[in-house]
Chains A and B, each alone.
Chain A
């Protein structure tokens, strides 16, 4: 499971190992769970193939695997973050076939043939996506945990405004929306930032919007 070129003792590995140890020593397994483990057939798996950041990926997955877990745990694309795992925080936002979704509320096996873009596919440390550069310039983050989801969402939001997708803050929903501050704020409401970088995120988006408008 170690990704090529990664150190053997990554922070994630140590945390995961520590959690597993804690589970063995302190969390009791109920009788029914123990019975399930020993007597039930292995969980159903299915093959699935989709494109991530331009690269075809084929996996055999437990049907329960979310798109988020497929990206993080199977493809080691850990830029996409798991926050609430219930579609409430937006940390897992990725772009699928051109639209943003919560990767935690989607089964990987439902994405056969899809084209997925994660934060790793938007830009690189050497060549930042304009939205990544604008987040750096405008201090659009503090701890950074929600940032990959914020950036994927922000890129998709500008595209949604460009395509004329309506929003709750429009006085006239039949009209084309504009690249205004209130539009950015409304459309980003599915991405929660506990550090409260919202106003700077909206400024970063405004700068990029000025280039795409």
Chain B
């Protein structure tokens, strides 16, 4: 690990200012992903701004009947919140499908959104990776791509966004609230929060340098049967090959987002009109234009079958 200086910020704006002014400065919350990457010298911050004192650790009702989740609410606390379990079951299910109990106790809502890809070529510093070292090439294209993206890919990067929670937030139409160094706040829809790789796979989110996530808001509950089905290589504590977050209404209409298939949670709203016609119709529309590699092409039929299982489960 490279040496760094450390401070504990007192307010969100002060934290944002501290990161904005120092080149090489980064926020640290739970630290479970950042420290892992720092040990491998994939991340080499020279200054860490600890945000644990910012009092962003509450889940509170909003005026329009939704919930505001503080950026520092842990994965465990969020999954266990009675309102989330009752009204946003897909979110609790997605969170408890990810990581381990120890990691969920430390991982925060904001940090989880910002976790980085587990592409093996990103993690191996001996390999070319446009995300880790822009311009160095992509070892995954033409390499071992079983876990990697099948849609929204570019000639520069085929990495996936690895998380589960964000897939549920996408299907729930959540918003990400932020503050910048000048104290200016804004809300970013989940649809726009994560970016596709394009020619700049190192830029993963819509956040500006130094912009700090303060909360994630959920609109008022939409009811329905809320499910999160994750398919992985072992029964627990593994990243998704494919996952499906769905909210399905009694009349068969609904919403669906997929994890493990793209550089961001993958949702195509236009395809949701096909929900009453079943998984094949939806998946055909969601994955139109997919560009799988030979060893991850299995993800396309797997995504359709996982959605079929979710629809069948919702019917009861």
A residues apposed to B, CB below 8 Å: 40, 43-44, 46, 62-64, 66, 85-87, 90, 93, 99-102, 105-107, 109-110, 153, 156-157, 160, 163-168, 170, 173-174, 185-191
Contacts and interface: CB of A to CB of B under 8 A. Distances in A.
Contact of B32 (A64, A105, A109, A153): A105
Interface stretch (B99-107, B169-177, B259-267, B282-290): B99-107
Given A86-B36, A110-B31, A166 B85 contact: yes
A63 B5 contact: yes
B106 A101 contact: yes
Contacts of B315: none
Listed from nearest, the 3 A-B pairs whose CB atoms lie closest are: A190-B100, A189-B236, A43-B3
Contacts of A86: 36, 39
B105 to A, nearest CB: 4
For the complex, would chain A's binding face be called helix, strand, loop or mixed by DSSP majority? loop
Contact of B92 (A153, A157, A173, A188): A173
Nearest to B34: A105
A64 B101 contact: no
B89 interface: yes
Interface string B73-97: 0001001101001100100110011
Contacts of A190: 99-103, 237
B89 A106 contact: no
Interface string B215-242: 0000000000000000000011100000
A105 B106 contact: yes
A31 B6 CA distance: 28
B52 A189 contact: no
Contact of B80 (A156, A157, A164): A164
Contact of A186 (B39, B103, B236): B236
B298 interface: no
B171 to A, nearest CB: 16
19 contacts: A44-B3, A44-B4, A46-B6, A85-B39, A102-B32, A105-B35, A105-B106, A107-B31, A110-B31, A110-B52, A160-B101, A166-B85, A166-B96, A167-B96, A173-B93, A186-B236, A187-B101, A190-B99, A190-B102
Contacts of A46: 6
Contacts of A85: 39
B274 interface: no
B4 A66 contact: no
Interface residues of B, number: 35
A10 B183 CA distance: 55
B1 interface: yes
* Residue from B36, B105, B235 whose CB has the most chain A CB atoms within 10 Å: B105
B28 interface: yes
Contacts of B101: 100, 153, 156-157, 160, 187-190
B106 A63 contact: no
Contact of B6 (A44, A156, A157): A44
B79 A166 contact: yes
A105 B82 CA distance: 29
A98 B31 CA distance: 19
A164 to B, nearest CB: 7
A99 B237 contact: no
A153 B102 contact: yes
Contacts of B76: 99, 160, 165
A168 B236 contact: yes
A186 B92 CA distance: 15
A189 B237 contact: yes
A63 B103 contact: no
B50 interface: yes
Given A153-B102, A173-B85, A105 B31 contact: yes
B125 to A, nearest CB: 14
A160 B79 CA distance: 12
A106 B6 contact: no
A140 to B, nearest CB: 18
B28 A174 contact: no
Given A93-B102, A105-B106, 19 more contacts: A43-B3, A62-B3, A63-B3, A63-B4, A63-B5, A87-B36, A87-B100, A99-B105, A101-B105, A106-B32, A107-B31, A165-B76, A165-B79, A166-B92, A168-B96, A170-B96, A173-B85, A173-B89, A190-B102
Contacts of B103: 87, 102, 105, 190
Nearest to A112: B8
B236 A66 contact: no
B97 A107 contact: no
B103 to A, nearest CB: 6
A93 B104 CA distance: 13
B35 A101 contact: no
